[in-house]
Amino acid sequence: MKIELVFIPSPGVGHIRATTALAKLLVDSDDRLSVTLIVIPSQFSGDASSSLYAKSEDRFRYILLPAGDQSTEHTFVSYIDSRKPQVTDAVSELARDVSTRSDSRLAGIVVDMFCTSMIDIADDFNFPAYIFYTSNASYLGLQFHVQSLYDEKKLDVSELKDSDVKFDVPTLSQPFPAKCLPSVMLDSKWFPYVVGRARSFRETKGILVNSVAEMEPQALKFFSGENGNTNTPPVYAVGPIIDFETSGDDEKRKEILRWLKEQPKKSVVFLCFGSMGGFSEEQSREIAVAIERSGHRFLWSLRRASLVENMTNAPPEEFTNLEDILPKGFLDRTVEIGKIISWAPQVDVLKSPAIGAFVTHCGWNSILESLWFGVPMAAWPIYAEQQFNAFHMVEELGLAAEVRKEYRRDFLVGEPEIVTAEEIERGIKCAMVQDRRKMRKRVMEMKDKLHVALVDGGSSNCALKKFVQDVVDNVQ
């Protein structure tokens, strides 16, 4: 029997790339399997058919939905909900097509962790629903734990905002500070959404996690039921799922890589903060001061936080007046040792021998990419679950230095505090020099574990095969 899975990724570059990479891995792992990705266009872009999406291939294809209503009045959640009729139509047509082939079955719908409302579509068609959790297993455990605390003990963690409380999380070995909870958990208006999403996760047939068992033994032990946990779906640690394809301006990419090739080995600190990582002029000046004081060569992806009124979650923009916003003479003084860019071909940069450390927003994809290439990190989270990831990397695993792990700048926060040049400089120096030997040893050990997990017989390879077999069993 041949089976087909439908994936519904969240409309964000990192999520779509990770989903594409996972889908191709699944197709390559089993000749019985085909995958269709239903792509919802970004709320901030009218073109879903950009160069981000490769051409459809045998047993792997995209369905690109039209732009539709992209009103800026939508929250992200309401925007996803507004696309359900289009997704329903696409699934219906696909189901009809599969039903005409006697040897094929539509075996389930895999929805992104931020698209749980799409589980309703799976229920309507009586298809098994699965989750692709693009973050780590430890954070998944936090989400379940927060929901359990509320449902069983009536503890609302949003009431811990601004407190110094620490509490135990079953997927972590150390007490976790409430200050590192993501903003949606600390906001009383959004907390019901957080709890409801965790409940939705529990109702699925399984959860694919972009992580590695050897990286999160405490978490995988919890999900295996060894700690008495029996009320969560099977969790499959199938990572690291990394998209190594680079899309973007090829000339800029070549220019950046030429510059890196001229730099000494492990001499460059790379600063890059993801697809939403822009800063104010004041914060950018603090970064510049820190870089110059550190004395290290640098490659800095610098962008301005969105200036669109009432759109603090809109993508960042380019600075056009670097001479005016950066410290006087900074560009002249650093011309021989530094390079400021806007867009960065991140994977290509991280695999360059010149990179010594990575100042990162702690997006999970960025963390995995950094570890895959053995690059120590300095953690400066911004939004989503990145504060948790920063704690995880700095305190739990010792794979990153800290800039400020409880920093946040997202749509639920007003004007954020400024991270000082002293904090940034300290983080850079810890990652590049002071803790380099100890941290680099840990990072290189983790790099080896990530690579081994994907080979035949590795933990992630086995988890992927187990998932496919469970999918087959669930349709029989």
HEC per residue, the chain:
CEEEEEEECCCCHHHHHHHHHHHHHHHHHCCCEEEEEEECCCCCCCCCCCCCCCCCECCEEEEECCCCCCCCCCCHHHHHHHCHHHHHHHHHHHHHHHHCCCCEEEEEEEEECCCHHHHHHHHHHCCCEEEEECCCHHHHHHHHHHHHHHHHHCCCHHHHCCCCCEECCCCCCCCEEHHHCCHHHHCCCCHHHHHHHHHHHHCCCEEEECCCCCCCHHHHHHHCCCCCCCCCCCEEECCCCCCCCCCCCHHHHHHHHHHHHCCCCCCEEEEECCCCCCECHHHHHHHHHHHHHHCCEEEEECCECCCCCCCCCCCCECCCCHHHHCCCCHHHHCCCCEEEECCCCHHHHHCCCCEEEEEECCCHHHHHHHHHCCCCEEECCCCCCHHHHHHHHHHHCCCEEECCCCCCCCCCCCCCCCCCHHHHHHHHHHHHHHCHHHHHHHHHHHHHHHHHHHCCCCHHHHHHHHHHHHHHHHHC
Residue 296: active-site member: no
Say which of 30, 112, 187, 410 is annotated catalytic.
Answer: 112
Residue 112: active-site member: yes
Catalytic positions, please? 15, 112
